[in-house]
Structure 1
Amino acid sequence: MTAPGARQRRQMHLAVQAPGAGSATVWAGPDSGSHIGFPSFRHLAATADRGLFDFLLLAEGLRLPEHKGRIHDLDAAGRPEPLTVLSALAAVTGRIGLAATADTTFHEPYELARRLASLDHLSDGRAAWHVVASSDAFTGENFRCGGRPDRCGGRPDRSEGLARAAEFVTTARELWDSWTPGGVPRPFAHHGRHFSVSGTFDVARSPQGHPVVIRSGESAGDSGGDSHEEREFAASAADVFLAGPPGTPEAGQALYADVKRRLAAYGRRPEDLKVMPGVTFALGDTDAEAQENAAEIRKQQVSPQGALFALEQVWGRDLSGHDPDGPLPDVDPDPAGEAAPGRAPIADRLAVAARWRAVAEAKGLSIRQTVIETTGRQSFIGTPASVAAQMDELVTAGAADGFVLRPHFTPGGLDEFADRVVPLLQERGVFRTEYTGATLREHLGLPLPVWKG
């Protein structure tokens, strides 16, 4: 309870993204379990629920990763469909929000809006949709477009993809609004540039009115980062903006202020959109131990095979004959070399290679050591008290409304944070000590959407 006259501390929002997508995940090691078994998802969801997190986010994988025409073991070898997993988790969790990543290129508005509304009913108002837009022909080969995303309504360029995604969200909301709050269905009709649908939606208005919409500035399948277009999309259509790691407090503050200022143009208030950077962490009983743990995690993230794969992405060449424990190749990168299927190309290979060479020469590093040194650092490293303080400082400074944690291990990668950091945030008075609402919108402090019948 806040003392009379005391200033209310800014409250932090916390969410977690399940390991299994992206470079943060450690695929093999003594702490790594199944990435596809339901017990792993249930364990993580239960930990997030116990830790009073806002939501659990699952990524979407529409095709197995390949390298040189073969499926490789540097990423998830199979990933269950998110809405299916979350529907099962709805039955074994209490209050935690359930967020599914779903692509706007390879889905249809009616089909996806129906499934999201169903999850919102099954979970009593805890559903969320992480909106992403894919464009690569590699993924498209799995769908009716046969390697031509434009045949699936895909995009010839980034701006067109964002326009389609924005209309997709608008169409889904029109479908959700076709039922009155009193439970009366009405015919709907949407005729736009990308979609023309009409009929009667067959799922009643859900407990939240609309599932929460999350937009990422660094979505899988999207090129670029926290760009102008991504920020504008979030300001116009999202409830949560999943930003990239803040880097520095100043960079976080600049992004936060820029996104928030855009809201007024759409008749929205600053509190109507939560800015939550995706972050990683490494803990220890001392700062030195935390640094050791962080270094060990980075070592496990980059296997010898993974180091060669990363090297080939930068060099644009077949370097499979090189020793990962040997020096960097003396040949220059091929600027026109192809990226691995489904991977975003590196814009300036020569510049990246020059930076890697400088690091390797200065520190006498091998290929693998260079990749470990140059690709990734945990966002927060330290004791539980130190990490709690770092996170609190960023929120207090206006660099974020909270964070989406990306644990390195499945299924127990969140356990230590929930048990040791969350209580310290609660002691600081910046994080809830109990859920005060039942729906995800209530967790996030978001209003119910105004019905537009």
Structure 2
Amino acid sequence: MTTSTDALPRKRVHLAAHFPGVNNTTVWADPRSGSQIDFASFVHLARTAERGRFDFFFLAEGLRLRELKGRIHDLDVVGRPESLTVLAALAAVTGRLGLAGTVNATFNEPYELARRLATLDHLSEGRAAWNVVTSSDAFTGENFRRGGYLDRADRYTRAAEFVRVSRELWDSWAPGDLVADQESGHFVRHGDVGAVRHDGPHFTVEGHFNVPRAPQGHPVIIQAGDSDEGREFAASTADVIFSRHGTLEEGRAFYTDVKRRLSRYGRERHELKIMPAATFALGDTDEEAAEHAAEIRRLQVSPQTAIAFLEQIWGRDMSAYDPDGPLPDVEPEQEGGVSQGRVQVADRAAVAAKWRAVAEEKNLTIRQLVIEMTGRQSFVGSPATVARRIDEFVQADAADGFILVPHLTPGGLDDFVDRVVPLLQERGVFRADYEGTTLRDHLGLAVPRSLPEAAPAATSGDAPRLVPEAVPTAVRAAVPAAVPEGES
């Protein structure tokens, strides 16, 4: 006897919003495209995500301007503000949305970053997340240290120790409350502050952490690595994986592999959320959406961008070739390259052979080939089609949800929130309103095991505050109020 999947409990869909980055995802030629530096752009996208009851807002990070053939790559680099600074500002203009920032564990130190993340968790009243990334890129490393880079074999061991030290610092404050002395107006800590003594291969830390225990205890940890060592690091350490597997089959294979690793670390399947990056194109009909998606891809891959992609694969200057002409009959360089600051292609000969076979089979020009091979919208269709497909992925254990990457800054998420989210809510797989106050509440994650159980979540509009009501008026007046809705 078989059981219909309709009779099984339906998994909840998790959604997050990625602010479009400095690459060819964003269609800058569209007249609706705005600044990615102006704070108003961050506010617009974040508030749209919060209006859609998304779990979190996600910022990537670039630590050096990318170069092509020794020059700044002006096709996709226009600057990137520092993530945690932007998120701290967004904490004042949002109330429930999680705030996730990418910060490199190779080029930072645990004590300072643990302070910044704990501070963000306090400012946002429990909504902070850290996307832990690593780098063995000497080009980027030149901005940070003599010798430029950390050996590839050491990057995850350093990251694992980095997270471990950060958690030791966050846990060094015993549970307690900040209360105000009425006479002096100073805060008094009710609870012990323990000393941290860590001596490991990468870090030696000894002293007392100077930020009280944050509302979540530990900010949510996100990880984006896809290698075997990256998957193992995520299974042992992360709360969320930001993956890149876009098809149902690839997603299910990745989901199964990572979830099975959790038991090695005494973890349950629900303790790690897998959320691939996803793009989308909507239309009133599936046919209209397909036409829209094709136009987006054409705009994302300009003639110059097509040649740049080809140069990255072939590892040589290809500027003499016509992007609207055939693929040239030249072999890729095996060593070196013309781009800096990008992930290098591991086996250029194999990738070039695959691209050549597709070009010959479909009779594609260079630009058409790049459009074909560099990805397409993950979800294309009417709002009903896109809602159904997202639900199918989650119910089939190909993902726990998606981190949506719109192609427009900052209004690219508006249609999705207005037209797709209500259909997911009607299907009973997406929240109608926030049910808690912290990002851990949104993701269904327990407080870290080193912490006591959290008090019941406050009702909407009555979140717990770092500054208690007993604080004298003169002290409370120094704490800025949240900016009213509609202002920036």
Tell whether the structures are fold-level matches, with TM greater than 0.5: yes
The CA deviation at 1:243 is 1.5
Q: Does 1:388 align with 2:396?
A: no
SS of match in other structure, 1:422: helix
Structure 1 segment 37-436 matched on structure 2, within 5 A:
37-143=38-144, 145-149=145-149, 154=150, 156-157=151-152, 159-182=153-176, 183-217=191-225, 226-247=226-247, 249-436=248-435
C-alpha deviation, 1:310, in angstroms: 0.8
Helix, strand or coil at the partner of 1:63: coil
Superposed CA deviations along residues 74-133 of structure 1, whole A, max 9, x for unmatched, are: 223210000000000000012000001000111000010000000000000000000000
Q: 2:19 is matched with which residue? A: 18
> Runs ≥4 in structure 1, deviation > 6 angstroms?
none
Distance 2:32 2:369 in 1: 24
Contact 1:384 1:420 in 2 (8 A): yes
In structure 2, the residue corresponding to 1:313 is in which secondary structure?
Answer: helix
State the Cα distance separating 1:148 from its structure 2 match. 1.9
Corresponding position of 1:220: none
Alignment gaps of 5+ in structure 1 = 1-5, 218-225
Answer yes or no: is the 8 Å Cα contact 1:21–1:59 preserved in 2: no
* Residue 32 of structure 1: how far off its partner (Å): 1.7
Distance 1:7 1:452, change over 3 A: closer
Secondary structure at 2:100 match in 1:
strand
SS of equivalent residue, structure 1 residue 197:
strand
**Structure-2 change in CA distance of 1:292 and 1:205 (3 Å):** same
Number of equivalences: 433
Q: 1:10 to 1:59 in 2, by over 3 A?
A: same
CA deviation digits over 1:232-260, x for unaligned, max 9?
1111111111121242x233222212211
Identity of aligned residues (%): 65
CA–CA separation in structure 2 for the residues paired with 1:424 and 1:353:
42
CA deviations over 1:277-333 (Å, ceiling 9, x no partner): 111111111111111111111111111111111111122111222222222222222
Q: CA distance change for structure 1 residues 23 and 146 in 2, over 3 Å: closer, same or farther?
A: farther
> Alignment partner of 2:194: what SS?
coil
- Describe the superposition over 1:399-452 as per-residue Cα deviations: whole angstroms up to 9, x where unpaired: 111111111111011111111110000000000000010000000011111227
Q: Partners of 1:297 and 1:251 in 2: how far apart?
A: 24
Distance across 2 between alignment mates of 1:171 and 1:238: 15
Deviations 1:52-84 (A, max 9, x none): 000011011111111122112222321000000
The answer (yes or no) to whether the contact 1:246–1:399 under 8 Å persists in 2 is no
> d(CA) in 2 for partners of 1:46 and 1:396?
28
Q: Is the 8 A contact 1:245 1:379 kept in 2?
A: no
Query: Would you say the 8 A contact 2:245–2:254 is kept in 1?
Result: no
User: Distance in 1 between the 2:415 and 2:403 partners?
Assistant: 16
Q: CA deviation at 1:7?
A: 5.5
Amino acid in the other structure paired with 1:117: A
Amino acid aligned to 2:157: A
SS at match of 1:399: coil
> What is residue 222 of structure 1 aligned with on the other side?
none
Query: What is the SS of the residue equivalent to 1:162?
Result: helix
Question: Is residue 12–residue 431 contact of structure 1 (8 Å, CA) maintained in 2?
Answer: yes
C-alpha distance in structure 1 between counterparts of 2:28 and 2:148, whole Å: 32
5+ residue gaps, structure 2: 1-6, 177-190, 453-488
Q: Secondary structure at the match of 2:230?
A: helix
SS of aligned partner of 1:404: strand
C-alpha distance in 2 between matches for 1:72 and 1:22: 10
Note if contact 1:98-1:126 (Cα within 8 Å) is conserved in structure 2.
yes
User: Which one-letter code corresponds to 1:160 in the other structure?
Assistant: D
Distance 2:261 2:364 in 1: 45
Compare CA radii of gyration and give the structure with the larger one. Answer: 2
Question: Is the partner of 2:403 in helix, strand or coil?
Answer: strand
Separation of aligned partners in 2, 1:333 and 1:167: 39
Aligned amino acid, residue 240 of structure 2: V
CA offset digits 1:131-167 (Å, max 9, x no partner): 0001111111111x14522xxxx2x12x421111011
1:28 partner SS: coil
Per-residue deviation, residues 324-381 of structure 1 (Å, max 9, x unmatched) = 2222222222222425112222222223223333333343332222211221111111
Going from structure 1 to structure 2, the CA distance change for 1:412 and 1:358 (only over 3 Å counts) comes to: same
Distance 1:260 1:62 in 2: 31
Equivalent residue for 2:459? none
Taking structure 1 as the reference length, what is the TM-score of the superposition?
A: 0.92
CA contact (8 A) 2:22 2:80 kept: no
